[in-house]
Amino acid sequence: MYLYVKSLHIIFIVSWFAGLFYIPRLFVYHTEANERPEEERRILFRQFVKMEGLLFRAIMVPAMWLTLATGFTMLYLSPAWLSQGWMQIKLGFVAGLLVYHFGARKLLYELKAERFRFSSFQLRLWNEVATVFLFAIVFLVVLKSAVQWIWGVVGLLIFAVVIMGAVRMAKKAREKKSV
């Protein structure tokens, strides 16, 4: 039974992360569309609102709940995992991922109300947060107790800096290309 639930858990995680990776990208395009001529902007605005809403409601929310349900089922079937430090840390990252998920929902509502608080560059950085969560959770699950706190945190910070640097370089390349 455990392995069936674990298999479903992985499938639901992949689905959830697909949405978590894609919705910020839509936010970037939505924000950039705001700079288009009025007629084009209105058409794009309606399309992005539709796409973002559908992605969030039809994929991200069900995948999140199914991920949590299968995760809690695995913990119910193997309660000893809860006493392990790596699992406690993983659950902390999952809590952070939930904050990220609901932060994306807040951004979705703001963009739908035509409130553009963030630049496309800031949203590109926001897009990378899910990647950091993914790396942290996968390494914790795979390495378990082999992950030492200090090196794990340092590695995660270095990874975050590399991602931010890559985003900045891509932005400069796009700006150079458009000139």
Helix axes 61-77 and 85-112, enclosed angle (nearest 10):
170
CA distances from 15 to 20, 145, 154, 168 (A): 9, 27, 29, 28
The three-class DSSP label of residue 152 is helix
Is 9 annotated as ligand-binding? yes
Radius of gyration (C-alpha) of the chain in whole angstroms: 19
* Selection from 18, 23, 19, 17 nearest residue 123 by Cα: 23
Q: How far apart are CA 170 and CA 95, in angstroms?
A: 30
Is 30 annotated as ligand-binding? no
Instruction: Please state the residue numbers annotated as binding site.
Output: 9, 90
Instruction: Please state the residue numbers annotated as binding site for heme.
Output: 9, 90
